[in-house]
């Protein structure tokens, strides 16, 4: 049984700040799968009714409607909420379809937008709005967009891109009190897990197969902080592809076919004519190596810690990012000279 508070069939949230907002992906194409496939897979959908309590130790969840449902194995996949800013309760926070519909309407009517936060969602919305002819002011508290992920080099490039497309980008800035959209990260939805007494550390703590501190209770997606064998630490990733792939691994573990989830996280962002791809977990680095010219795409920035590659971010350079990801998963060492040389095919290091 799949229980969710939204009335809509489960859908792909990345489109809310990308194709759906731009009008290239209609709402009819958002669903992960058609309703009949759930029936074929013998998955019962309980939509529009939120879980209030996991019902341990009796193992009977309580729903908002008052209904109770017994369970043998349970997976918490409650995801994240957009992080709220005090005094900006009236702004849009883009997480669910109704907010995306409101934002799309504003953009289609050509209204000016004040956006707080130059992370992935803020930058993507700014790009769509500018391409539709809207005036955009983008406020970022840090010195560059996406500074914590891309660093000063990648963030500076992105700042130039948005300014070149007419965005009024304001860095080291305080948010305006009349912001239209706030996009300043997310907070894991851990209240159910906390109430049930599960271990929490900036997310529901799970192992590399999604097992929580309570037998029979699993967790998947961006509500979790999971142990990653490659990075040898717990990580929390807020992006769709990792939530999906880790979810697959947790499902297999619940079915008794568990294997450690050890894939390198990967995600993408479309902004104007640029496709930004990133492989890694956003962990601290102490050195960067650039392949190509930061003044123009395609290029890739590699992020190293103690000489070891732990992430790669590429602009219009998806082949390089994909190969870097495979190198990290294979624990394959690559020299700085090889990383920097566009003529060196990274596939040779995998041989």
Place of tokens 């060492």: 333
Confidence of residue 50 (pLDDT cuts 50, 70, 90): very high
Answer yes or no: same fold for 1-72 and 284-350.
no
Round to whole Å and give the CA distance between 94 and 109: 18
Fold type of domain 1-72: FAD/NAD(P)-binding domain (3.50.50)
Question: Of 6-10, 128-132, 346-350, where does the model show the most confidence?
Answer: 128-132
Q: Indicate the pTM of the whole model.
A: 0.93
User: Residue 135 pLDDT more than 80?
Assistant: yes
- Helices 120-131 and 147-164: angle between axes, nearest 10 degrees: 10
pLDDT tens digits, residue range 65-114? 999 999 999 999 999 999 999 999 999 999 999 999 999 999 999 999 99
User: Residue 268 pLDDT more than 80?
Assistant: yes
pLDDT tens digits, residue range 205-242? 999 999 999 999 999 999 999 999 999 999 999 889 99
Three-class SS of residue 260? coil
Domain map of the chain by residue range?
Answer: 1-72, 97-182, 284-350
Confidence of residue 350 (pLDDT cuts 50, 70, 90): confident
Fold type of domain 284-350: Enolase-like; domain 1 (3.30.390)
pLDDT tens digits, residue range 242-258? 999 999 999 999 999 98
Three-class SS of residue 28? helix
Q: Is domain 97-182 in CATH 3.40.50.300, yes or no?
A: no
Looking at residue 27, what is its pLDDT? 87
Per DSSP, the residues of 46-78 read: EES--EEE--TTTTEEEETTS-EEE-SSEEE--
Strands 274-280, 266-271: pairing is antiparallel
Cβ count near 224 (within 10 Å): 32
| Strands lying side by side in the sheet with 51-53 | 51-53, 60-63, 68-70
Looking at residue 295, what is its pLDDT? 86
């Amino acid at each position: 049984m799949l229980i969710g508070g939204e009335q809509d069939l489960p859908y792909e949230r990345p489109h809310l700040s990308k194709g759906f907002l731009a009008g290239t992906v209609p709402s009819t194409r958002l669903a992960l799968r058609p309703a009949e496939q759930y029936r074929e897979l013998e998955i019962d959908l309980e939509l529009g009714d939120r879980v209030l309590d996991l019902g341990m130790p009796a193992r009977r969840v309580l729903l908002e409607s008052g209904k109770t449902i017994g369970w043998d194995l349970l997976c918490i996949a409650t995801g994240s909420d957009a992080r709220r800013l005090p005094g900006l309760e009236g702004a849009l926070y883009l997480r669910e379809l109704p907010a995306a519909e409101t934002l799309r309407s504003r953009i289609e009517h050509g209204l000016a937008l004040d956006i707080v936060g130059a992370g992935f969602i803020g930058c993507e919305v700014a790009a769509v709005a500018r391409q539709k002819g809207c005036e955009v002011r983008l406020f970022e508290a840090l010195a560059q967009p996406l500074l914590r992920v891309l660093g000063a080099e990648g963030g500076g490039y992105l700042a130039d891109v948005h300014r070149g497309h007419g965005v009024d980008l304001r860095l080291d800035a305080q948010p305006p009190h009349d912001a239209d959209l706030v996009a300043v990260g997310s907070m894991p939805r851990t209240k159910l897990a906390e109430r049930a007494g599960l271990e929490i550390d900036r997310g529901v703590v799970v192992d590399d197969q999604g097992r929580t501190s309570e037998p029979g209770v699993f967790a998947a997606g961006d509500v979790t902080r999971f142990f990653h064998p490659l990075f040898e630490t717990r990580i929390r990733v807020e992006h769709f592809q990792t939530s999906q792939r880790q979810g697959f691994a947790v499902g297999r573990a619940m079915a008794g076919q568990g294997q450690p989830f050890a894939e390198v996280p990967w995600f993408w962002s479309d902004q104007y004519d640029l496709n930004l791809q990133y492989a890694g977990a956003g962990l601290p680095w102490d050195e960067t190596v650039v392949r190509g010219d930061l003044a123009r795409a395609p290029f890739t920035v590699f992020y190293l810690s103690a000489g070891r590659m732990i992430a790669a971010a590429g602009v219009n350079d998806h082949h390089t990012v994909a190969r870097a990801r495979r190198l990290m998963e294979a624990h394959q060492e690559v020299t700085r000279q090889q990383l920097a040389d566009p003529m060196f095919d990274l596939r040779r290091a995998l041989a």
